[in-house]
Amino acid sequence: MTSAARAEPAGRSVGQVETKRVVLFGQDNPLVLESGERLAPVEVAYETYGALNADATNAVYICHALTGDAHAAGHHGDPSRPGWWDNIIGPGRPIDTDKFFVICSNLLGGCQGTTGPSSIDPATGSPYGLRFPVFTVSDLATVHRALVHHLGISRLAAAVGGSVGGMQVLQWALDHPDDIHAAVMVCSTSKLTPQNIAFSAVAREAILRDPDFNGGDYYDTPNRPDTGLSLARMIAHITYLSEESMRQKFGRRIQDSAEPRRNFGVDFEVESYLQHQGESFLGRFDANSYLYLTRVMDYFDPFGGSATQVAERLRALRTRFLVMSFDTDWRFDTEHSRELVRILGAHRVPVTFQEIPSPWGHDSFLLVVPDYHRTVDTFMRRVHQEMVNGARTAPAPGEDVAA
């Protein structure tokens, strides 16, 4: 490991926290999806850190990545098992809970407390399975927005997300241009490439072809599609690591032996690692949720309309952006971020871009990479100062545009 991965986070943890749940859409006010379908009830699991100020102007929303959840920071009683982004959220950390009121929720369609395919369909009394309606990134943002309003907040100081989380941030800012003062998108994209879609397609096929998938109705059966889901996770995890990080972490070392066993079992350390990732995933994720959330990513293309439509959407945007990439990330490589910056900059949207050196590939956004944390910290300090000074909109178009 390099010093970047060994570095200790600044500040301190928020300590013990709890996950809360709230029903945001009921039978009398169902969630109307972009498709026109209606969904109710919709329950959302979320956590908050820090304190909301008197005029509710210091809120920051964290949008999680594909397999994340509401537990972004602190711990649930065991400090050795912190939230997935604990190293960047907390007192004195880049997303400083001494300054900001931080919110993180589990995604619609998820399986960690928010309504999804494993939830009970009130019409049948059984889990939805594949009868759960297909949804979009816009629908994810609609649910996030409902939670913000439930908490008494009309405009966010910032929305922050890595990977798929960044897609949610971008869509939210475009759909509701008055909602977000500043946005941070880390190793994200404005659309998936054919290669990205291909990896997800193979992962979904592993689930769909599992004999225990049972058309998505496996919840009341003795076996679940564990083989398919673990394979999907193994495939995805390869894309989260760089070749350099794999060399450093595993090399060609043999697992638990001085010499190769020369059979078809797990022999190399990297094989053992991927097998562990697949097996450990089974205890915390649902195969149907994996299908839905990866498909949501495939269809995401907020700039896919005509040039006139794109210009109209961006003309209304009132959000300052920080876009960041990592030089060894090949899942969403730097060109994804540069393309996004080019589109924003061409329409005079305030945007700052930074490529960060890191050997750890796509997973870098979850690690303590000092340059990355410093960049977020600097940006968030500025956001805080702008809110203290009474800012309610982004800077004038064209200010701080960097390509």
For the annotated catalytic residues, the residue numbers are: 163, 329, 362
Helix (H) or strand (E) segment spanning residue 375: helix 370-388
In whole angstroms, give the CA distance from residue 13 to residue 92. 9
Strand partners, 121: 126
Helix (H) or strand (E) segment spanning residue 291: helix 287-299
Look at residue 166 and give its three-state secondary structure: helix
Residue-wise DSSP of 336-362: HHHHHHHHHHHTT--EEEEEE--TTGG
Residue-wise DSSP of 175-209: HSTTSEEEEEEES--SS--HHHHHHHHHHHHHHHT
DSSP 74: S
**Hey, how many other C-beta atoms are within 10 angstroms of the C-beta on 224?**
17
Helix (H) or strand (E) segment spanning residue 96: strand 95-96
In whole angstroms, give the CA distance from residue 403 to residue 396. 17
Q: For residue 201, what are its two tokens? A: 């397609």
Amino acid, res. 188: S
**How do strand 20-25 and strand 42-49 relate by DSSP bridges?**
antiparallel
In whole angstroms, give the CA distance from residue 118 to residue 284. 12
**Hey, how many other C-beta atoms are within 10 angstroms of the C-beta on 304?**
11
DSSP 75: B
Q: CA torsion, points 213, 217, 221, 225, in degrees to nearest 10?
A: 20
Q: Specify whether the CB–CB gap between 355 and 334 falls below 8 A.
A: yes
In whole angstroms, give the CA distance from residue 34 to residue 384. 33
Strand partners, 102: 49, 60
Furthest-apart CA pair in the chain: how many Å? 67
